[in-house]
């Protein structure tokens, strides 16, 4: 028992050492207000809730707290730890966006460049409009892909025919990103580029392929050499090494019987396996709260961390602005109070959103209940990592907790 405790303490010390903690003390947060957050998370991860979770709050470049709740496994025998490894799914998109913006800063690509400049077969896009194919008004640009305004099928009203046509092409069945791009070159748009926001994964897969073509290396290698290694993100990758797989959290969904079960998919049955056949820039990464906190703080601090500059300050400022100004209203399909930047949503009306926060707040989430936000006004990062895929089509499921989590973080601020 003592040996196990010593090993755990050593692991904890290494984890804390890797976190972005500076000498300056964080502002004093009231313990009784933070206790409200703790009580909420204890309840959310009890025997009737999520298996477990990890939260992190950081302000002014110092950790306010990082805390684990509940368990890592479906049997609820292994306690959750702060270094647990999660499938972060669409939080990968922010990383992919940073990779592309690094190439923009180097003058190797431009945001207004057509996709066809880098990928063959994209020079004559077609729109499937109510069952009739017609030429698109213009080519799709890299900016369109980054901001989900390319017009690809996104499950919106009127997309039905385009969605079915895309399913026949089956881009997600690709063996690698080259194959994915080849398949996508045969996919019809559902709307003209730049005319709507339609959240889809294919756009960021294409961005990942552009990174490969322009950099001359695999997407995984680019991320490792240019982002993960400089930032000290030692547990972030497309698959988890064998010696770390004991730290991967079970991923659950709600069964028809009203009880949690292991979700479908290879990575659920074999935690640590790759989530896709290819290096998915839209949703393929595993990570930890500690690793992603370093990435988030790099963005919060204007593109640099511990002397390693990935992006310039003005580039990050542009990423965190709303890029949907050409739309009326300039918002996403998810909220009338949020626009979209490059890599994440942007709050444009915190009052209308009805949730504590700030205008200009930036962040995103993953399909399996992982969340992060960056608030430049408060110099704040808040993160909640759970591992549950919400049930589709209604029926009993676990309550969504991210809104309450963020409210409890903001009410506790000094």
Per residue in 87-138, pLDDT (tens digit) is 999 999 999 999 999 999 999 999 999 999 999 999 999 999 888 999 999 9
Q: Does 299 sit behind a cis peptide bond, omega within 30 degrees of 0 on the bond before it?
A: no
The answer, as to whether pTM is greater than 0.75, is: yes
Rounded to 10 deg, the angle between the 289-300 and 2-18 helix axes is: 20
Report the distance separating Cα 292 and Cα 12, nearest Å.
17
Q: Which helix (H) or strand (E) holds 339?
A: strand 338-340
Report the distance separating Cα 8 and Cα 2, nearest Å.
10
pLDDT over 90 at 350, yes or no? yes
Q: For residue 108, count other CB atoms closer than 10 A to its CB.
A: 15
Per residue in 253-285, pLDDT (tens digit) is 999 999 999 999 889 999 999 999 999 999 999
pLDDT-based confidence at residue 25 (cuts at 50, 70, 90): low
Q: For residue 57, count other CB atoms closer than 10 A to its CB.
A: 23
pLDDT over 70 at 3, yes or no? no
Q: Token pair 């509940």 is at which residue?
A: 70
Both structure tokens of 285: 């990464």
Q: What angle do CA 340, 344, 345 make, to 5 degrees?
A: 45
Domains of the chain: 2-96+219-411 (3.40.710.10), 110-215 (1.20.58)
Question: Which phi and psi angles does 347 have, rounded to 5°?
Answer: -75, 125
């Amino acid at each position: 028992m003592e040996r196990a405790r010593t090993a755990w303490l050593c692991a904890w010390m290494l984890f804390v050492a890797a976190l972005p903690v500076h000498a300056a003390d964080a502002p004093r947060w009231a313990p009784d207000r933070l206790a409200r957050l703790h009580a909420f998370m204890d309840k959310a991860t009890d025997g009737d809730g999520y298996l477990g979770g990890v939260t992190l709050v950081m302000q002014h470049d110092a950790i306010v707290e990082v805390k684990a709740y509940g368990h890592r496994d479906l049997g609820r025998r292994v306690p959750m730890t702060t270094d647990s490894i999660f499938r972060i799914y669409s939080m990968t998109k922010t990383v992919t966006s940073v990779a592309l913006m690094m190439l923009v800063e180097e003058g190797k690509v431009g945001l207004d460049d057509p996709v066809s400049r880098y990928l063959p077969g994209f020079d004559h896009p077609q729109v499937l409009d109510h069952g009739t194919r017609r030429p698109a008004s213009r080519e799709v640009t890299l900016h369109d892909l980054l901001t989900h305004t390319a017009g690809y099928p996104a499950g919106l009203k009127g997309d039905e025919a385009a969605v079915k046509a895309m399913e026949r092409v089956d881009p997600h069945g690709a063996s690698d990103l080259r194959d994915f791009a080849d398949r996508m070159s045969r996919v019809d748009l559902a709307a003209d580029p730049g005319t709507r926001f339609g959240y889809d994964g294919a756009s960021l897969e294409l961005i990942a392929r552009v990174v490969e073509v322009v950099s001359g290396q695999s997407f995984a290698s680019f991320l490792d050499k240019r982002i993960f290694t400089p930032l000290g993100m030692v547990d972030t990758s497309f698959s988890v090494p064998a010696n770390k797989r004991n730290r991967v959290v079970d991923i659950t969904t709600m069964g028809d019987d009203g009880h949690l079960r292991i979700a479908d998919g290879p990575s659920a049955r074999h935690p640590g396996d790759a989530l896709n056949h290819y290096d998915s820039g839209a949703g393929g990464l595993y990570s930890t709260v500690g690793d992603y906190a370093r990435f988030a703080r790099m963005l919060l601090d204007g593109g640099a961390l511990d002397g390693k500059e990935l992006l310039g300050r003005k580039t990050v400022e542009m990423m965190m602005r709303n890029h949907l100004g050409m739309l009326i209203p300039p918002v996403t399909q998810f909220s009338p109070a949020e626009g979209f930047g490059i890599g994440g949503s942007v709050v444009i009306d915190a009052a209308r959103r009805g949730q504590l926060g700030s205008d200009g707040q930036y962040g995103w989430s993953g399909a399996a209940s992982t969340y992060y936000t960056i608030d430049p006004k408060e110099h704040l990062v808040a993160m909640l990592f759970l591992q549950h895929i919400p049930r589709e089509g209604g029926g009993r499921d676990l309550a969504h907790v991210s809104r309450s989590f963020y409210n409890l973080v903001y009410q506790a601020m000094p």
